[in-house]
Amino acid sequence: MSDIARTLADYGEYHRDHRNVLTHAAGVPMIVLALEVLMARPAFAMPLLGIEATPALIVSALAAFWYLQLDFKMGLLMTVLLAIFYAVGRQIAEVSTLAWLGGGVALFVVGWLFQFVGHHYEGRKPAFLDDLRSFLVGPLFMVAEGLFALGLAPGLRREVKAREAS
């Protein structure tokens, strides 16, 4: 069994109620965007690389590396999605300080409210209380669930279901 299937199945044990998965479909992207927004400041020049770096860029690059190590194809998709969220987060961070901070905090709080409502339906604590890697697995799980709903990645879905059944 692949590492990604094992990882998704283990995380999925905390997300069996469809209402929980639906609340996560809203909450997880909000939290990821909130983190990209809030970590988009400060920006600092990296002249040797010809870029302006932010904490968001560094954290996103590390997350992308982890996803790529776990599964190359899904890692590429996650890297593209992180790049999009990073770009949007940078745009939001360029507005006034009040709008940047208020918007980022609001996204973060509302996203977590969705998470906790979902776990109320689930009747089980969030996965991150048992494994901090869940902060990285959550976005991956939601992307995988989206792919499965579209009929994509059938091999991975079979692997995950087999792991869940065992």
How would DSSP label each residue in 106-131? HHHHHHHHHHHHHHHHHTS--GGGT-
pTM across the whole model:
0.92
Three-state DSSP class for 52?
A: strand
The count of structural domains within the chain is: 1
The domain containing residue 31 runs over which residues? 3-165
Whether pLDDT at 130 is above 90? no
Residue with more model confidence, 134 or 25: 25
Alpha carbon 45 to its chain centroid, in Å, reads: 27
pLDDT > 90: what percent of the chain? Answer: 81
State yes or no: pLDDT of 101 exceeds 90: yes
Amino acid at 20: N
